[in-house]
Amino acid sequence: MLRLRPILTPGSLHRRFATVAGPHALVLLEHRAGVIESGSLSALTAAQQLGGQVTGLVVGAPDQVKGVVEKAKKLKGLTNVLHSSSEQYAHSIPEVVSPLLEKLLSDNTPYTHVVSAHSSSAKSLLPRVAARLDLPAVSDITSLEHDSTSNATTFTRPIYAGNAIATVRAPESVRVKVFTVRSTAFKASAEDESAQAEEKAIDPVEVSNPPTQHVRTDLTKSDRPDLGSASRVVSGGRALKNAETFKATLEPLADALGAAIGASRAAVDAGYADNSLQVGQTGKVVAPELYMAIGISGAIQHLAGMKDSKMIVAINKDPEAPIFQVADVGLVADLYEAVPELVEKLKQ
């Protein structure tokens, strides 16, 4: 986590007194079934690190928004909560939501930064908004530092599947700095019972005849912890043979550890697991306390999604598997023997 650079350096004593206010970030608070997404809470933490005011934005259908706003008002560090309701906003269609954001960020906007999680919905929306405002955007940041004297914000972000870290600076000329946040890099903001941010309703910007319509959403139903925020993950690879074997082998282990289940790309491509379980460069990026890679070889693209895990355990038949190079604890064994044995002994 970066500390803000002290503003009172010898040079700054001679600078003209800044007449502009400090940063004012607008944070997109996404929600599902009345609950604020954990990624948005990480985005809120990142926004607070800019060092100025933070305004939350809740957009959705009328029956969704009210409950979410009540929860948002209790979030630590939020100055106020804007909200906008419309049936049109029920499904986060970028073409429909963008006009609202463009209006909030037009020329005399008080906002200097726009922040969201790097979620599939926000990363579909924010670049569209940015382009329509002739602004660049920065994706999937892992740290930030704002310098109020120069009005520039510097970010770090992974590139080349996390094999390199880019440090990029958005100078003052970037009127509003739009960025998405890697949630594993910022601790989720918590509630503060004593906090009570102000709320303000914003008229929706209705889009007549939108070119895109939502047809359906199919979410994988699971009682397990959510993969993106679980503290323990048990992940399976191509060695798991088929969907039944994948489930039968990994579920008992995940149950014993109270873990979420993940999968390598190979496993998902082969149909052993749903795409929502894919961990990797283009799937989910996770950083749990424990990541167990079962029958996963450890391709670069998979490592990109889990190498920040606190403890990595690997079970694989192949002693040369690249996964062992990042594993804290590696066991070269037949997973069909090792995993059941592990489950049994864990339960003792």
312, 316, 321, 335: residue in contact with other proteins (rule CB under 8 A): 312
Query: Which of positions 116-155 make contact with other proteins (CB under 8 A)?
Result: 119-121, 123-132, 134-140, 154
Closest approach, Cβ 305 to other proteins, in A, equals 12
Closest approach, Cβ 9 to other proteins, in A, equals 18
Residue type, 211: P
Query: Which of positions 317-336 make contact with other proteins (CB under 8 A)?
Result: 324-333
- Which CB sits closer to other proteins, 231 or 245? 231
Size of residue set near other proteins by CB under 8 A: 91
Contact 310, 326 (CB under 8 A): no
Read off the tokens for 190. 């918590």
Among the candidate windows 45-53, 58-66, 93-101, 192-200, which touches other proteins by CB under 8 A?
93-101
Q: Give residues with Cβ within 8 angstroms of 104, minimum separation 6.
A: 26, 57, 82, 111, 202
Q: Give residues with Cβ within 8 angstroms of 348, minimum separation 6.
A: none
> Does the footprint of other proteins cover residue 160 (CB under 8 A)?
yes
Read off the tokens for 286. 């996770």
Element at 117 (helix H, strand E): strand 113-117
Cα-based distances in Å from 104 to 46, 123, 143, 205? 20, 18, 25, 10
- Which CB sits closer to other proteins, 16 or 347? 347
DSSP secondary structure letters along 21-85: ---EEEEE--EETTEE-HHHHHHHHHHHTTSSEEEEEEEE-HHHHHHHHHHHTTBTT-SEEEEEE
Contact 168, 155 (CB under 8 A): yes
> Does the footprint of other proteins cover residue 289 (CB under 8 A)?
yes
Query: Which of positions 26-85 make contact with other proteins (CB under 8 A)?
Result: none
Closest approach, Cβ 59 to other proteins, in A, equals 17
> Does the footprint of other proteins cover residue 110 (CB under 8 A)?
no
Q: How far apart are CA 238 and CA 110, in angstroms?
A: 51
Site string for other proteins, 258-287 (x = CB under 8 A): x------x--xx----xxx----xx-x---
Closest approach, Cβ 327 to other proteins, in A, equals 5
Angle between helices 243-257 and 335-347 (to 10 degrees): 30
Closest approach, Cβ 230 to other proteins, in A, equals 12
Closest approach, Cβ 73 to other proteins, in A, equals 25
Site string for other proteins, 12-31 (x = CB under 8 A): --------------------
